[in-house]
Amino acid sequence: MSRPIRVLVAKPGLDGHDRGAKVVAAALRDAGMEVIYTGLHQTPEMIATAAIQEDVDVVGLSILSGAHMTLFPRVLDLLKKDGRDDILLTGGGIIPKEDMEALQAQGVGKLFGPGTSTADLIAYIREWFAKERQEA
């Protein structure tokens, strides 16, 4: 029997708008995933540390502040430095398409914009998990 997918949902930086992150966290939980929501105003260091301590499979960042080109790479770098480049870093927010492509080229997973169905995010995480983490 397979184990639940463990996801950490985080709001990095000074952005105080967390409704979307809470909706995503609830949708992932309703889909049978174990979800840890870190709350507002998290630093990349706090997020990476929590991800490692909680032994998550996925980190999802919600960024509406425009700092995505700094925050995603920093979290990714911290996870890699701790030997956890096996954790999927994904997320969403107000991110221009060209920035999404640049972040994905750096190793960030698929990113989602406003209005994306939570079903799309759930399907993406499940497909990634089945491919990358499912034990035979």
Q: What is the CATH number of the domain that holds 11?
A: 3.40.50.280
Distance CA 115, CA 113 (A): 6
Whether 56 is in a domain gets the answer yes
Whether 106 is in a domain gets the answer yes
pLDDT score for 133: 74
Strands, E assignment, 6-65:
6-10, 34-37, 58-63
How many structural domains are present in the chain?
1
Cβ atoms within 10 Å, residue 56: 22
Whether 104 is in a domain gets the answer yes
Report which DSSP code applies to 124: H
Q: Exposed/middle/buried for 46, CB within 10 Å: 0-12, 13-18, 19+?
A: middle
pTM for this model (two decimals): 0.95
Whether 17 is in a domain gets the answer yes
H-assigned helices in 1-136 = 19-30, 44-53, 68-81, 97-105, 118-132
Mean pLDDT across the chain: 94
Whether 1 is in a domain gets the answer no
Express as a percent the part of the chain with pLDDT over 90: 90
Whether 77 is in a domain gets the answer yes
| Boundaries of domain holding 26 | 6-132
pLDDT tens digit sequence for 50-102 = 999 999 999 999 999 999 999 999 999 999 999 999 999 999 999 999 999 99
